[in-house]
Amino acid sequence: MYPCSDPTTWGPSLDAAVHAVQRNEVIVLPTDTVYGVGADAFAPNAVARLLAAKGRGRQMPPPVLIPDIRTVDGLAREVPKSARALMEHFWPGALTVIVFAQPSLAWDLGDTHGTVALRVPDHAAARALLARTGPLAVTSANKTGQPAATTAADAEAQLGASVAVYLDAGLSPLGLSSTIVDATHPAGLRIVRDGGVPLADIISVVGEDALLSSTEPGADAGGEPRK
């Protein structure tokens, strides 16, 4: 367990987490929503360890956290203008956007069907870590079916020794998972999980006409919620 609340002293803690990621180990990190369990997105064996720690199969691939919006075009293709508008407005923040992944990427996140769920967390420690590690595959730090961890101690109680480094930044600011928007359907966006960004706020940016209903034919293209 490594303290990670004070930017003036968190250097050794981030060092430990970076070194663990480089060794393809699994870490727990704070975010603005809930604590996440993460690993190098480009190391298939590390992602497999993450899924095993979570108790989750390949059919539910983890989202990818990135340090800023500039990383999107290196990971995604054919990002709709409406999705990019949401990214620009709500990132960093509690919004995850499912987009088509670049086909040339050398990674294996699970059964993604060619998509990836991206988010920039609104948490200084998380972004400082991501700036050093690059994209991390991250899902909520809990066993599948259990409550999401809002403290590092909660995460440790559930994940134990399967995690090499726990970064402790106190209580999660939001304590609620991110909203997930699927941007892979040509007819519009679909909200596949309610969370930290309210529907009304999304509509205020892209307009109601940009959204598909969850029952509209074909609206489930591109994957399901990742957390």
Cα distances (Å, whole numbers) of residue 100 to 15, 75, 167: 32, 9, 31
- Tell me if the bond preceding 92 is cis, omega within 30° of 0: yes
Residue 217 lies in a domain: no
In a domain, 83, yes or no: yes
| Residue 98 within a domain | yes
Q: Say which CATH number the domain at 59 has.
A: 3.90.870.10
- DSSP, res 123: -
Lookup: tokens for 212:
């598909």
Instruction: Give the Cα separation of 112 and 213 in Å (integer).
Output: 22
Q: Tell me, yes or no, whether 82 lies in a domain.
A: yes
Per residue in 145-176, pLDDT (tens digit) is 999 999 999 999 999 999 999 999 999 999 99
| 224 part of a folded domain | no
CA angle 107, 113, 114 (to 5 degrees): 55
How does pLDDT run across 89-137, given as a tens digit for each residue? 999 999 999 999 999 988 999 898 999 999 999 999 999 999 999 999 9
Mean of pLDDT values over 195-200: 95
Instruction: Tell me the residue range of the domain where 24 lies.
Output: 2-210
Look at residue 214 in the predicted model and tell me its pLDDT.
Answer: 57
Tokens of 64: 């990818």
- d(CA 130, CA 108) in angstroms, rounded, equals 19
Answer yes or no: is pLDDT of 221 > 80: no
Q: Tell how far CA 144 is from the center of its chain.
A: 16
**Looking at residue 131, what is its pLDDT?**
97
* Res 213: pLDDT: 75
pLDDT at 216 over 70: no
**Residue 152 domain-assigned (yes or no):** yes
The answer to whether the Cα torsion of 124, 35, 200, 89 is positive or negative is positive
Q: Which residues contact 221 (CB under 8 A, 6 or more apart)?
A: 182, 184, 185
SS3 92: coil
Domain count along the chain: 1
Residue 216: inside a domain: no
Q: Is residue 68 part of a domain?
A: yes
* Local confidence band at 225 (pLDDT 50, 70, 90 cut-offs): very low
